[in-house]
Structure 1
Amino acid sequence: MPDIKLFNGDALEIIKQLQSKSIDLIFADPPYNLSGENHLTCKSGKIAKCDKGSWDHIDDIDEFNKKWIEECIRVLKDNGTIWISGTLHNHPSIGVILKQLNLWIINDIIWFKPNAAPLIQKNRFVPSTELIWLAAKSKQYYFNYEMAVRLANGKQMRNLWELSAEKHKTMHPTEKPEKLLERIVLIGSKQEDIILDPFMGSGTTGAVAKRLNRNFVGIEIDQTYYNIAQKRIENTNVETNLVQFLEKLTHKTSSQLDFYSTIEKSKNY
């Protein structure tokens, strides 16, 4: 069984307690700093003030991002990778900080949501994408290229990922779809690796990590969401037949894709 460690508290303070170079993969979906008097959203077909919670109110987004990213890099193994999700509200800040910390930026992945919610306002384009920064400490990092090819049905996987937004499994307002995390976990880690999510939310990363037999460290500051994540991860079963799971994921048989030789293929670039 995977080793699951969950913490309810401030991400920065808890990451400081983790051992240096102990984490294989980090997925972070930090606060986008969307909430505020001047930020609007759509609720039940009407324009409303955007307020996702106190955790989404950041006074100095650049300082906040630099502090938690620095600690994440400290605990990341030399061949590990960090994946950071964002929108136009915070991804420029993240990109600058990754450069300042002399990290190797591998890709900027664009997650395109073809079923994104329409806008009521008529003064801008419909937001239909999120960006995921993928970075490492150097050019020597784990990346399962063969797995990416198989997940892309035999073709090279591009950095434009067209994945429909899913109906949320919980009440968390910024919950990521499991199919998004399945790609990241399968390509960026091996079974029994340790995955860290410093902004765990409702536990999507933890549920996927456990299902795919990865160890997991999750941190969430909000007590309500922590409780939801804890229960969700506890109720997730480890996938006992990963080949069968991948066949379902790709709609291909093991004989067509030769999964046995690629599930745990290790490649450092």
Structure 2
Amino acid sequence: MGEKNLKKSPRNKTIDFNLTEGHEYADRVVDAREVQDYKDMVDKTINGDTFETVKKIPDHTIDLIVVDPPYNLSKKYHGHTFDKMDMEEYSSFTRKWLEEAKRVLKPEGTIYVCCDWETSMVMGPLVGEIFQLKNRITWQREKGRGAKTNWKNSMEDIWYATQSDRYTFNLDEVKMRRKVLAPYRDAGKPKDWQESEKGNYRDTSPSNFWDDITIPFWSMPENTAHPTQKPEKLIAKLILASSNPGDTVLDLFLGSGTTSVTAKKLDRHYIGIEQNPLYCAWAEYRLEKAENDRMIQGYADGVFWERNTLAAQKTERTKKQES
């Protein structure tokens, strides 16, 4: 038999280089042990243990924290393994980093914590104990295999909390553009909706259920080989709602860099901490690409679009390339 052809299709944009191939990006990563001052952390990808590295961030300096911690599942992460804990141990692990998050968050700051259905039972009560709990967002994760002896897991949670009663929430920045299927007119004019050559639509206020998220796949430029990568569109909603341009966004478990990349695209500062050096290199590669490409799939014209309605976004991309 001949050798298996492992060459990727030209359309396959998945980021999956090793540290040798990506040495120039690995060289840009900051070793946590070399951080001497807070300014060494801003707009940087930092490779190190989260619990040790976060201690170098001064009290009350972060505007927004977005955290996608390891779910309590035994899982391999390219040379690193997370072993499932009992609930008491996982609760202790979670409390430890939540308390550090509270210390570094500004009095008017916000935190979002991602989790699956099972860890949500631990996360919600702890987040509510340490912060002021505002809501639970549930989003549809449409990708994944079915289960033979259980219902397929296609939903995940994000717990939304603040440090105090003073916090940022930019409602107009996170409107959802939806098609109007039964348009109502008043005196012949559209009522509470807009008419365009591309169809009828209404910009609606977002709820705490999101069914418009596409999980990154092989032909999307943001896609990496990270097993639990979050979409830029998902994180963009959190950043736009709960921070302002120039604010600093912290991710304590950066993974392949989605929070930092999305923050950069939206003109925020970022700090990303990740223990896996390979994922840090992937993050730096993505950050370099974000210098010239600020597009976020599913977000255009200042609104979020329903899934698989990309025509307007492609038009917007063409306009920017021609300008």
What is the TM-score with the length of structure 1 in the denominator?
0.79
> Looking at CA atoms only, which structure, 1 or 2, has the larger radius of gyration?
2
Distance apart, 1:51 and its partner CA: 3.7
| 1:233-259 Cα distance to aligned partner (Å, 9 max, x none) | 1221267899xx741754699xxxxxx
Distance in structure 2 (CA, Å) of the matches to 1:125 and 1:56: 24
Alpha-carbon contact 1:91-1:131 (below 8 Å) kept: yes
Distance in structure 2 (CA, Å) of the matches to 1:238 and 1:189: 23
- For the aligned residues, what is the CA RMSD? 2.5
In structure 2, the CA distance between the partners of 1:55 and 1:83, relative to structure 1 (3 Å rule), is: farther
SS at match of 1:89: helix
Alpha-carbon contact 1:78-1:137 (below 8 Å) kept: yes
SS at match of 2:111: strand
In structure 2, the CA distance between the partners of 1:240 and 1:8, relative to structure 1 (3 Å rule), is: closer
Aligned to 1:112: 140
Aligned to 1:173: 227
Aligned to 1:185: 239
Amino acid at match of 2:118: H
Unaligned 5+ runs, structure 1: 36-49, 254-269
Distance in structure 2 (CA, Å) of the matches to 1:94 and 1:110: 14
Distance apart, 1:156 and its partner CA: 1.8
Amino acid at match of 1:127: N
Percent identical residues: 33
1:91 aligns with 2:130: no
Distance in structure 1 (CA, Å) of the matches to 2:56 and 2:224: 29
Distance in structure 2 (CA, Å) of the matches to 1:241 and 1:171: 20
SS at match of 1:232: helix
Distance apart, 1:52 and its partner CA: 4.2
Distance apart, 1:146 and its partner CA: 2.0
Aligned residues, how many?
A: 232
Distance in structure 2 (CA, Å) of the matches to 1:117 and 1:139: 38
Distance in structure 1 (CA, Å) of the matches to 2:62 and 2:176: 26
Task: List aligned pairs for 1:92-171, cutoff 5 A.
Answer: 92-101=121-130, 103-113=131-141, 115-119=142-146, 121-149=147-175, 153-162=202-211, 163-167=213-217, 169-171=223-225
Unaligned 5+ runs, structure 2: 1-41, 179-201, 306-310, 313-323
Distance in structure 1 (CA, Å) of the matches to 2:254 and 2:81: 12
Distance in structure 2 (CA, Å) of the matches to 1:212 and 1:100: 31
Aligned to 2:4: none
What is the TM-score with the length of structure 2 in the denominator?
0.66
Amino acid at match of 2:143: A
Alpha-carbon contact 1:175-1:204 (below 8 Å) kept: yes
| 1:27-52 Cα distance to aligned partner (Å, 9 max, x none) | 000000211xxxxxxxxxxxxxx544
